[in-house]
Amino acid sequence: MMSSTAMVFVIDDDQSMRKSLERLLDAACYKVELFKSASEFLSRSAHAGPSCVIVDVQMPGLNGIDFQKGLTEHGREEQLVFVTGHGNIPMCARAMKGGAIDFLPKPFKPRQLLESVERALTRSAEQHRRASEKNHAGGLLERLTPREYQVMQLVATGMLNKQVGGELGMAEKTVKTHRAHVMQKLGITSVAELMVVLQKAEVPQVAKPGTKV
Amino acid sequence: MSWITVIWSVGGGACLTLAFIQFIVWWKNRAARANLVFSVLAIAVASFAALELALMRAQTPEQFGEVVRWLHVPVWVMIASLVAFVRLYLRAGRPWLAWAIVGVRTLSLILNFTFWPNINYRQITALRHISFFGEPVSVATGVPNSWMLVAQLSLLLLIIFVSDAMITVWRRGDRRQALFVGGGILFFVVLGTADGVAIGWGLVSMPVTVSLFYQCLVAAMAYELSYEMLRAAQTTRRLQASETELRETNQRMGLAANAAKLIVWSWDILHDEVWLSGKDRSLLGFSQSEKLTAERARSVVHPEDRQLVRQLVENSLTTGEEIDAEYRIKLGDGSVRWVTRRASVEFGDDGKPVCERGVLMEITERKLAEQALVESEARFRNMANTAPVMIWMSDINKLCTFLNKTWLEFVGRTIEHELGNGWSENVHPDDLQNCLETYVEAFDDRQPFVMQYRLKRHDGEYRWISDSGVPRYDAQGKFIGYIGSCVDVTELLRKEEALREFEERVALATEATQLGVWEFDLTTERIWVSEKVREHFQFPAEGEITYREFEQRVHPDDRRARDQAMRRAIRTHGAYETEYRIVLPDGTIRWIGGRARCLPEGDGKSRRLLGVSMDITERKQAEKLFELATEASPSGTVLIDHQGRILLVNAHAEKLFGYARDDLIGQVVDVLVPPRFVHAHSTDRANFFAAPEARAMGAGRELFARRKDGSEFPVEIGLNPIQTPRGLVVLANVVDISARLAAEEVTRRNREQVELLGRVSLLGEMTASLTHELNQPLGAIVNNANAATQYLEQGRLNPEQLQEILTDVVRDARRAHDIMRNVRSAIKKGSALRGQINLNDVVKAVTHMVHPDAAAQLCKMEMSLAPDLPAIECDPTQIQQVLINLVRNAFDAMHDTPPGRRILEIATNHNGEGTISVVVRDYGSGISETARDRLFEQFFTTKEEGLGMGLAIVRSIVEAHGGSVAAENADGGGACFHFRLPIKEGIPQ
């Protein structure tokens, strides 16, 4: 079970369903917020911590599927758990492909729901972590000057300083200097560590020049 | 011998003689007053002379004084007569002076006799004798009397008087008289006076010899008077000669005058004697000898003209001017003649009229002619003024000289305005030019003319006038102008115009109606026909038509009837109508309808027929057609009059009702109506005739008809009013609807079956909704129960919470139950529960019901509901069914549409025609060509698993509600299904 920063959001147009879900989740010691419609939820700003959204697929106004698409488009990271009074396979498939945690037809076993919620929160937390690491790494990289960046990119491919110099039209000495700066700014000591940083920042690898693809 | 005595005596004697002579003269001619006065004077002078002699022989002073005293008497007479003489003879001398003299002398005379001895002497002292002409004469010496002056004053006045008279006569031009007579008198008076004064005042000593002077004066005056007498005698002689001459002249004139038919006259004014020739005397009825005074002469003048004549004469006598006058005189034979007078007056030296001479000219003929002319003119004028036409006359200069009263009253102007060219001001400006031209042209040619122009009447209206003029000539045949008359022809022209219009209209009417007109003369057996008749009958365009030719054309079968009708009409002097066929030369047969009437003559018999004919072939054919149509009609036709009697039935009607035609015609229509409806039927009939219009009978009711055998059958009757010449009749179309009713029953049952099927199938297709609906409450129950368990395990469950949970659970359970119940009721056939339903609510309910399905299909539903939608009478469940079917079809249609575009629009609308429309529009695949026509068929489906009942049920339900349903492809893709429901059945909005 996660810490108090985790939130569970319930979106359902049916009142008794909402109420019963709240009870259920509360009994499981989750923090819950209820919404009557998807647009109501969207008007609330994104939650800082890990979050899970339980959403009914068939709702008047914005339905679940469109809601899912909308979230993705706006880059929101909430994890969705779909519930439905009447589901069919195509609907389920679409939901899952869209990145939902689970798709549960009503009436569902409460245990199933809770498991999905847990999974969703975990994933959400994971996402948050990754996001913050990315931010951090990205911030580090921004400290580099353009020349330093170029050098760093080529070094990351495993090229020797001399090769880097030749590629960039720099003296080896200059390369070395840049390299040292990069190491210092990023707080690393090795190329391996550099790789890690780049990975975290999710910077795409540059192909080594001359390599035959 | 005493010379003094002799001289004085002779002198005295001479005076006396002269006095005597002159006295005789006066006696003969009393007018000669001067002569009388002279004789008085002469006597006075003789007396004076005698007394003077006595004076000279006086012996004593007393004698002397006495004589002197008595001397004054003849002196007085002398002076007075001298004054009178001057006045009478000379006709001069101021009268007042004359009277003064006489007065003073009279005074002195009186004084003379009051004094002693006399006025001359106070006292005579002595008498002397002196020698005068060798004789002793007495001369007195004494004291002169101052009063002598009075006497001498008179003498002085006398001198002045005579001088003044002399001057007057001189001035008058009678120089001889002035000088000789006046001068003479003056001379002697002065001398005498001087002598007397001298002696009186004792200036000289001599005897009184005054009388001598006066004797000389007398002598001179006597001479003068004699001279006058001589002259008078001469004048008389001359006068007589003249008179004779005059008489002769007059006679000659008389002859001439008679020859010239003139009456000549002369009037001696002094003697008031009128001279007329002998002939004229007898002409005028005077005798030859009687003395004619002016008065007598004037007695011939007509009494009425006498005043005139008198004035004439007076005028000419005073002014000497002659005025021409015409008056009547009566002749001796009693006839009256008109004369004109011309005379001239001769005045004497004294300015008095002496004689008038004149001529009377007979002008009777002229006068009569004039009178006749005046009378005739008056008659003419009278006639002209009372004539009803306007009469005018013009002179040779074309100027109007006469207009009668009728003209003046017409134009309302005075004659002054109209004469000359003034009349043309009344002519209408547009016509004036023409009018004047016509007039002038004719005038110059001395031709009569007729012209028409508009003339302004007194009330301002212009009237058409026909003006005709002819030249006129005097008795000698000389052209003297034109005379003409004008007549107001406005009415005539209007009538002509009206007649022309009328004829045109008749021609037009007959042309339009294709009527032919004909007239048949019975006596000549000839027929006059109009063009139209020739056309109809194909007679030649020109040429006479005989009755025989006409009859030839008539169809042999119809000849008799037509002929009979005509002859009957002729006999009864009436009219007739026929319809008959004619056979044209080219063989075609036409129907002719005609009407004719006898034209009675003055004697009451009819000799002419006047008729109109019309080609009625079309009508006849139409009638035939109608009969055929009626007979051939697949429905029964019954023709009924307003009393409900059957006029006509067709074959089908016979069959329907089981009667023969003849049995029905004439019967009242009630025989065809079931008894229980007869009363209502009569009412209906009355209502219909009151407000006839083509409509179905007994709307809303079920109608039944009765056959001859008494059995009844359901019918539908259509009514058509037809106006015939004989009144309103009704054409009733009767249709036996038993078969139809049976068919309808079958249909109804079918539909009900179909609906049931539909409901059942619908149910099957509502699974998704149903499931969803049920799963909500069920899911909620499960969650609540689990939560409660969890709370319990954790020890956190308090009673309130538990209460809440359980309440919710129960509610959800009930919800589930309700859903199931609805489903059950949806399946049931049930009686159509209709109520006032707002379709918007139905749409909303349906939308709610299907939203799980919509979600499952990722379809978005949009509603656009008309606000203030009126409620309609319908079965809400059935309408729901309709909507659900349409909605589900729409979802299926959008199966392949990209999710973002899966939109379903439901709209409601209140239409103006009293209906509500509901539209279901999708963005799916649309309706294919092949499907379109079969869309609402039973068992037609495009779905793999479809029953094909959905739309058929939709149609069935909608039509059962009195509405309609349709579908088409919508712009922008997809299909559009819409149905329409009437708001209220049969109630107008």
What's the first-to-final CA gap in chain B, in angstroms? 186
Say yes or no for a CB contact (<8 Å) between A106 and B852.
Answer: no
pLDDT above 60 for B21: yes
Q: What is the percentage of chain B residues whose pLDDT exceeds 90?
A: 9
User: Ranked by mean pLDDT, which of A56-65, B414-423, B821-830 comes out on top?
Assistant: B414-423
Residue range B650-696, pLDDT digits in tens:
888 888 898 888 888 888 888 899 998 888 888 888 888 888 888 88
| CB-neighbour burial class of residue B667 (10 A; exposed 0-12, middle 13-18, buried 19+) | middle
Q: What confidence category does residue B754 fall into, taking pLDDT thresholds of 50, 70 and 90?
A: confident
Q: How many CB atoms sit inside 10 A of residue B524's CB?
A: 12
Is B151 within 8 Å of B105 (Cβ atoms)? Answer: yes
Which segment, B123-137, B523-537, B974-988, is predicted with the most confidence on average?
B523-537
**Of B582, B564, B561, residue with least CA distance to B572:** B564
CB contact under 8 Å between B768 and A86, yes or no, is yes
Using pLDDT thresholds of 50, 70 and 90, give the confidence band for residue B767: low
How many whole angstroms separate alpha carbon B135 and alpha carbon B5?
A: 10
Nearest chain A CA: its distance from B879 CA (Å): 22
Region of poorest pLDDT, from A75-89, A182-196, B209-223, B716-730:
A75-89
Q: For residue B766, is pLDDT > 70? A: no
- CA-CA distances (angstroms) from residue B330 to B298, B304, B443? 10, 12, 49
pLDDT > 90? residue B299: no
Q: How far is B914 from chain A (nearest CA, A)?
A: 33
B852 touches chain A (CB under 8 A): yes
Checking DSSP bridges between strand B135-144 and strand B121-132, what pairing results, if any?
Answer: antiparallel
The average confidence (pLDDT) of chain A is 82
Whether B946 contacts chain A with CB within 8 A = no
Which amino acid does the sequence have at B532?
A: K
**Kindly report the CA angle at B396 between B395 and B401, in degrees rounded to 5?**
10
Phi, psi of B704 (to 5 degrees): -130, 150
The pLDDT, as a whole number, for residue B986 is 43
Q: Is A82 left (phi over 0), alpha (psi -120 to 50) or beta?
A: beta
pLDDT, residue B485, reads 92
Q: Is the pLDDT of residue B810 over 90?
A: yes
- What pLDDT does B69 receive? 81
Task: State chain B's mean pLDDT as an integer.
Answer: 84
Using CA coordinates, name the residue in chain A closest to B790. A27
Over residues B875-901, the mean pLDDT reads: 85
Residue type, B707: R
Mean pLDDT of the region B859-884? 86
In this model, does residue B824 exceed pLDDT 80? no
Is the model's pLDDT at B230 over the cut of 50?
yes
Between strands A7-11 and B695-696, the pairing is: unpaired
User: Inter-chain contact A86–B771, Cβ cutoff 8 Å?
Assistant: yes
Which chain B residues touch A108 with a CB distance below 8 Å? 779, 782
- Strand B325-330, strand B273-276: pairing: unpaired
Q: How confident is the model at residue B553 (pLDDT cuts 50, 70, 90)?
A: confident
DSSP string, B124-159: EEEEEEEEETTEEEEEEEEEEPTTHHHHHHHHHHHH
Residue B131: strand pairing partners: B136
Residue B119 has pLDDT above 80, yes or no: no
Q: Which domains does chain A have, with CATH numbers?
A: 7-130 (3.40.50.2300), 143-200 (1.10.10.10)
pLDDT band at B979 (very low <50, low <70, confident <90, very high): very high
**Residue B245 scores a pLDDT above 80:** yes
CB spacing of B786 vs A27 below 8 angstroms: yes
The answer to whether the CB atoms of A85 and B783 lie below 8 A apart is no
Average pLDDT, integer, range B546-565 = 87
A 140-199 → B contacts, CB under 8 A: none
Q: Are strands B860-864 and B903-910 parallel, antiparallel or unpaired?
A: parallel
Chain B residue numbers with beta carbons less than 8 Å from the beta carbon of A63 are 855, 858, 860
Q: Do A210 and A161 form a contact (C-beta atoms < 8 A)?
A: no
Q: Is the pLDDT of residue A161 over 50?
A: yes
Report chain A residues whose CB lies below 8 A from the CB of B775: 85-86, 105-107
Rounded average pLDDT over B916-921: 92
Q: A-B interface: how many C-beta pairs under 8 angstroms?
A: 104
| pLDDT score for B828 | 67
pLDDT at B239 over 90: no
Distance (Å, whole) CA B840 – CA B884: 14
* Gap between the Cα atoms of B136 and B130, Å rounded: 5
| Helix H or strand E encompassing B641 | strand B636-641
User: What average pLDDT does this structure show over B418-438?
Assistant: 89
CA distances from B617 to A149, B4, B534, B776 (A): 115, 172, 16, 86
pLDDT at B888 over 70: yes
Mean local confidence (pLDDT), B349-367: 82
- Using pLDDT thresholds of 50, 70 and 90, give the confidence band for residue B945: low
The pTM of the whole model exceeds 0.90: no
Q: Tell me if A85 and B787 make a contact (CB, 8 A cut-off).
A: no
User: Looking at residue B467, what is its pLDDT?
Assistant: 92
Provide the pLDDT confidence category of residue B985 given band limits of 50, 70 and 90.
low
DSSP string, B349-363: TTS-EEEEEEEEEE-
- Of residues B102, B95, B96, the one with CA closest to residue B153: B102
Chosen for mutation from B771, B774, B775 (greatest number of chain A CBs closer than 10 Å) is B775
pLDDT at B829 over 60: no
Q: What is the pLDDT of residue B318?
A: 80
* Local confidence band at B919 (pLDDT 50, 70, 90 cut-offs): very high
Mean pLDDT of A15-40: 89
Q: How far is A122 from chain B (nearest CA, A)?
A: 22
The pLDDT value recorded for residue A1 is: 39
Distance of residue A3 Cα from the nearest chain B Cα, in angstroms: 19
